[in-house]
Amino acid sequence: MMKQREMNRDWIATARTLSEALPYLQRYDGSIVVIKLGGHAMGSDEAMETFARDVVLMQQVGVNPVIVHGGGPMINQMLEKLDIKSEFVNGKRVTDETTMEVVEMVLSGRVNKRIVQAINGQGGKAVGLSGKDAGLITCDPADPALGLVGNPTEINPSILHTLFRDDAIPVIAPLGAGRNGETYNINGDTAAGAIAAALKADRLLLLTDIDGVRDATGEVVTELTADQIREMTREGVIAGGMIPKTETALAAIDGGVRAVVILDGRAPNAVLLELYTEHGAGSLIRAR
């Protein structure tokens, strides 16, 4: 009898959660949400399955999700396995043609298809592509000293709108084409921000292995403005690996994205918590 009452309470709590989500379901109906899935946030097969289920649920309730993924740890593993040495300039990997072949193989192959398979396994219709496909991302060299590392200069999102109309979920590897046919490796956050800006996305979610932007006391700040981000960076509160993420956020907002959220992609159902609950997750950054 006790067990039955406990089960009833669980079902009632579930129903209440669904009911309370209604304003958020209405809020995001028809919107575009770009999700950057970092290599460290991909985690186990179970975590990938949960993420894929969340993405399919988002689409079922009216959101157009776009996944842009990284894959740094997987690239490192493959380079080590092939005994290919890497040079670094100012902490960034120099990408020569040999390294670029490995990067493209891992990102467009192993990593991209794992995400596509996971989403399709949950009943979605994911389509894997890279920024080289259909002229999606055109790049210029980010820094000649880094070789084939690119900076997005032109985004043509027409293929993404075509996929939206067909109820497909784009899964994009952060590679781009140069003006002379070169293949460029792009920082995943940078690629996601550029795509989100071109789509005028409602949200850009940067899923990583940290739980948000921290203040000087070490506490996660749940909401920030662009001006606060700039001030915290000047004061050195935002430093290290958080700087490129907040720079991506500011560039995306300047490009027309309504808000950017930096959150821990390893947390179960992080995307659903952010979009469909009052609690939210991570640090939300707005223009003002």
What pLDDT, in 10s, does the model give residues 11-57? 556 556 666 766 666 777 888 999 999 866 676 788 899 899 999 99
Identity at 57, one-letter amino acid code: L
Instruction: Work out whether the CA dihedral 246, 153, 109, 118 comes out positive or negative.
Output: positive
Return the structure tokens found at 153: 């200069």
Q: Is the pLDDT of residue 59 over 80?
A: yes
| Distance of alpha carbon 42 from alpha carbon 278, whole angstroms | 25
pLDDT tens, position by position, 66-103: 999 988 889 989 999 999 988 887 667 889 999 999 99
**Residue 183, pLDDT score:** 96
- Residue 44 lies inside a defined structural domain of this protein: yes
Higher-confidence residue of 237 and 29: namely 237
Binding-site members for substrate are 71-72, 93, 185
Helices (H), 62-123: 72-81, 97-104, 112-121
CA distances from 12 to 1, 15, 170, 279 (A): 17, 5, 35, 19
What CATH number corresponds to the domain at position 157? 3.40.1160.10
pLDDT of residue 195: 98
Annotated binding site: 71-72, 93, 185
Domain assignment of residue 242, yes or no: yes
**pLDDT computed for residue 24 by the predictor:** 65
Residue 158 lies in a domain: yes
User: Quick check: is 123 in a domain?
Assistant: yes
Question: Token pair of 221, please?
Answer: 């700040």
Per the domain annotation, does 22 fall within a domain?
Answer: no
SS3 content of the chain, % helix, strand, coil (to 5): 45, 25, 30
In a domain, 171, yes or no: yes
Q: pTM of this prediction?
A: 0.89
Residue 2 lies in a domain: no
Q: Average of pLDDT values for 58-67?
A: 93
Q: Is 241 within a domain?
A: yes
Q: How confident is the model at residue 8 (pLDDT cuts 50, 70, 90)?
A: low
Note down the domain range covering 175: 29-286
pLDDT at residue 4 tops 70: no
Q: How many domains does the chain have?
A: 1
Q: Which two tokens stand for residue 258?
A: 């309504």
Query: How many angstroms from the chain centroid is the CA of residue 286?
Result: 17
